[in-house]
Amino acid sequence: MTVALSLVITGVFYTTLSLSPLILFACMGEIIAEKSGVADLGIEGIMLMSAFVTFAIDILSRSPWLGILAGVSVGVAMGAFYGYLAIGVYLDQIASGLSLYLFGLGFSYVLFVVLSNKYAGTFPNFINIGTIYVPGISALPIIGRVLFQQNVLVYVALALVPTTAYFLQRTRIGLQIRAVGENPRAADTMGINVKRVRFEAILIGTFLAALAGAYFEIGYLQTFQFDIIMGRGFVALVMVYFSNWNPYKALVAALGFEAVNATQSEIVSLAGPSLQLSSTLFNILPYLFVLALIPIMGRRARAPKYMLVPYKKS
Mapping DSSP onto H, E and C, the string for 46-98 reads HHHHHHHHHHHHHHHHCCHHHHHHHHHHHHHHHHHHHHHHHHHCCCCHHHHHH
Residue type, 208: L
Maximum CA pair distance of the chain? Answer: 71
DSSP type of residue 227: T
Our CB check for other proteins shows the closer of 24 and 86 to be: 86
Measured CA to CA, the distance from residue 117 to residue 112 in angstroms comes to: 9
Measured CA to CA, the distance from residue 25 to residue 215 in angstroms comes to: 9
Residue 280, interface with other proteins (CB under 8 A)?
Answer: yes
> By CB under 8 A, which span of 65-73, 109-117, 173-181, 258-266 interacts with other proteins?
109-117
For residue 176, the SS3 value is helix
Q: At what angle do helices 93-118 and 43-61 cross, to 10 degrees?
A: 20
- Nearest approach in angstroms of CB 273 to other proteins is 12
Residue 313, interface with other proteins (CB under 8 A)?
Answer: no
Residue 159, interface with other proteins (CB under 8 A)?
Answer: no
Residue 231, interface with other proteins (CB under 8 A)?
Answer: yes
Residues in the chain: 314
- Nearest approach in angstroms of CB 204 to other proteins is 21
Residues 10-49 within binding reach of other proteins (CB under 8 A): 41, 45
Residue 113, interface with other proteins (CB under 8 A)?
Answer: yes
For residue 151, the SS3 value is strand
Q: For residues 212 and 25, is the Cβ–Cβ distance under 8 A?
A: yes
Our CB check for other proteins shows the closer of 9 and 303 to be: 303
- Nearest approach in angstroms of CB 14 to other proteins is 24
Residue 99, interface with other proteins (CB under 8 A)?
Answer: yes
Q: For residues 56 and 69, is the Cβ–Cβ distance under 8 A?
A: no
Residue 109, interface with other proteins (CB under 8 A)?
Answer: yes
Residue 78, interface with other proteins (CB under 8 A)?
Answer: no
> By CB under 8 A, which span of 6-14, 68-76, 169-177, 231-239 interacts with other proteins?
231-239
> By CB under 8 A, which span of 61-69, 87-95, 157-165, 194-202 interacts with other proteins?
87-95
Residue 227, interface with other proteins (CB under 8 A)?
Answer: yes
DSSP type of residue 133: -
Q: For residues 137 and 148, is the Cβ–Cβ distance under 8 A?
A: yes
Residue 181, interface with other proteins (CB under 8 A)?
Answer: no
End-to-end CA distance of the chain: 71
DSSP 108-147: HHHHHHHHHHHTTT-PPPPPPPPBP--TTGGGSTTHHHHH
- Nearest approach in angstroms of CB 166 to other proteins is 26
In sequence order, the β-bridge partners of residue 151 are 131
Q: Of 211, 200, 186, whose CA–CA distance to 83 is shortest?
A: 200
Among 299, 312, 313, 314, binds other proteins (CB under 8 A): 299
Our CB check for other proteins shows the closer of 153 and 228 to be: 228
> By CB under 8 A, which span of 13-21, 27-35, 119-127, 299-307 interacts with other proteins?
299-307
Among 25, 101, 123, 216, binds other proteins (CB under 8 A): 101
> By CB under 8 A, which span of 5-13, 26-34, 188-196, 290-298 interacts with other proteins?
290-298
Interface contacts to other proteins, rule CB under 8 A:
41, 45, 85, 89-92, 94-96, 98-107, 109-110, 112-114, 226-227, 231, 234-235, 237-238, 241-242, 277-278, 280-281, 283-284, 287-288, 290-291, 294-295, 298-299, 301, 303
